[in-house]
């Protein structure tokens, strides 16, 4: 059997000003039992503390290689209290995860394959009636009178 592969994942934990937070505890745990080439992935939780720049590097199994559709529950515990939990899927290449208070979570790396297009959904409900438009310009009734004479 082959060894379970891992990739380095750099977690960046930032404060509200985008500055790195040192001393935060970072923990990553698979959300379900994963399998790779027929064997169970048994790496256990990965843990580290952020350095002076607010970065911690974890060696994680790339979810892209698994067969069970797993992700990681990534927990960052601030040294001043409180935790952030995010669920992330790791590509089969080194990547960065940026977390923080009021900071968007981003996982960088190469884009994966595009999935199949789903079936067309049901037709939506009819919308509300729109506002009545403005009246058009006054027309020339002379032709209408001529037509009335011809037909009438």
pLDDT band at 56 (very low <50, low <70, confident <90, very high): very high
Tokens read off for 70: 């797993």
DSSP character for 20? Answer: B
Residue of 13 and 45 predicted with greater confidence:
13
Calculate mean pLDDT across residues 11-17: 91
What pairs with residue 56 in β-bridges? Answer: 11
The full set of domain ranges for the chain reads 7-108
Strands (DSSP E) contained in the chain are: 7-14, 25-30, 35-36, 39-40, 46-49, 55-60, 72-77, 83-88, 95-100, 106-107
Residues counted in the chain:
152
Q: pLDDT for 99-123, tens place per residue?
A: 987 545 566 677 778 888 888 888 8
Tokens read off for 13: 């934990």
What is 7-108's CATH number? 2.60.40.180
């Amino acid at each position: 059997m082959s060894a379970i592969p891992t990739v380095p994942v750099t977690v960046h934990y930032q404060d509200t000003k985008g500055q790195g937070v040192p001393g935060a505890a970072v923990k990553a745990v698979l959300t379900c039992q994963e399998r790779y080439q027929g064997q169970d992935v048994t790496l256990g939780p990965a843990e580290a503390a952020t350095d002076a720049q607010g970065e911690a590097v974890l060696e994680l199994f790339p979810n892209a290689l698994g067969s069970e559709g797993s992700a990681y529950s990534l927990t960052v515990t601030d040294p001043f209290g409180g935790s952030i939990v995010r669920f992330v899927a790791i590509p089969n290449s080194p990547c960065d995860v940026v977390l923080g208070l009021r900071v968007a979570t981003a996982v960088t790396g190469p884009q994966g394959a595009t999935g199949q297009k789903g079936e067309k959904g049901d037709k939506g409900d009819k919308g509300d009636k729109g506002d009545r438009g403005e009246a058009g310009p006054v027309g020339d009734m002379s032709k209408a009178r001529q037509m009335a004479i011809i037909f009438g």
